[in-house]
Structure 1
């Protein structure tokens, strides 16, 4: 499953990021790297993008980039 398939409110753990090394470093600085958890906050209409909370960092990604990030769904911990 990739990040573009995440629904609002769902929590997932990032498993793999398949992008160029420079972009991977930038995403890592924003808490988007393997082992980190993300939650979908908003999804733009017409495939525009997805807003995430990545362990305290809020960011928006284009769907084309979200499709390159593999995830596994996780249960919400209280």
Structure 2
């Protein structure tokens, strides 16, 4: 019965517009993957947040820090 929300993010390379589009595609892909594993589509949704919520805030990021910022996270909306 759990309902999940997928938040997808990018690193800070690329324009804001490009990163928002990329994170939206990442969110859709994440949702489709979860659905393909048998979760009902009415139990998961997603949204892209671009580079607005970095996991690691950095000015001169290392490749590892960039990689940590490129991610999808799951939030439990309803148990």
> By the TM > 0.5 criterion, same fold?
no
Q: Which has the larger radius of gyration?
A: 2
Q: TM-score, normalised by structure 2?
A: 0.28
Structure with the higher helix share, 1 or 2: 2
Name the structure, 1 or 2, with higher relative contact order (CA <8 Å, separation 6+): 2
Q: When the two structures are superposed, what TM-score results if normalisation uses the length of structure 1?
A: 0.28
- Greater strand share, structure number: 1
